[in-house]
Amino acid sequence: MGLNEKIIFVAILGLGAIVGVITYTIFMGLVPTAGDTRSIYRQDLPPKPAEASAGAKSSVDVSSVEPDVTLTILEGAATQGNPDYDPKELSVKAGDIIKVDNVDTVPHTVTNGEGPNDPDAGKVFDTSIINAGEAAIIDTQEISPGDYAYYCAVHPYMTGTLKIE
Ligand SMILES: [Cu+2]
């Protein structure tokens, strides 16, 4: 081997080592580490339903309450055009306790108002998120008699009416 070839050989070895170190350094930096949340792709998770509903009414333990009437959120209600609330128009006496039974496979709400743009939405009653297979309570005791439109905050095309007599 001539001197030039030796230099080239050593240079190639050296470049190989440098590429190896660089590759190792870069890719070790990509291994996820518990607690290390630095990433340009990082996005905070939406708040959990329980936190989201903090401060909302009706944090009643459903199993401890004897409901007077039941409003059912039907299976498939999340699909627009499907039957959603049953009954669609619910009449109760003032003071009745309504159990809202979500028998669907996705979360829903019963929120008073014409829709999300209604300035009074959720001010009279709001179950907040009812998870699939779970239930919530609307206590009409503190609601004045009248007709109340309501909708689902998750699927605003789900609508119904609550009549309190
Ligand atoms: Cu819904």
pLDDT tens for 97-154 read 999 999 999 999 999 999 999 999 999 999 999 999 999 999 999 899 999 999 999 9
pLDDT at residue 1, rounded to an integer = 65
Query: Measured in angstroms, how far is the CA atom of residue 165 from the centroid of ligand 1?
Result: 26
Q: How confident is the model at residue 81 (pLDDT cuts 50, 70, 90)?
A: very high
Query: Measured in angstroms, how far is the CA atom of residue 17 from the centroid of ligand 1?
Result: 59
Query: Measured in angstroms, how far is the CA atom of residue 101 from the centroid of ligand 1?
Result: 12
Closest CA to 104 of 124, 78, 82: 78
pTM of the model: 0.64
pLDDT tens for 18-55 read 999 999 988 887 777 788 777 788 877 776 655 444 44
Across the beta sheet with 89-92, what order do the strands follow? 89-92, 159-164, 146-151, 111-112
Q: Would you say domain 49-164 falls under CATH 3.30.930.10?
A: no
Number of H helices, E strands in the chain: 2, 8
pLDDT at residue 48, rounded to an integer = 64
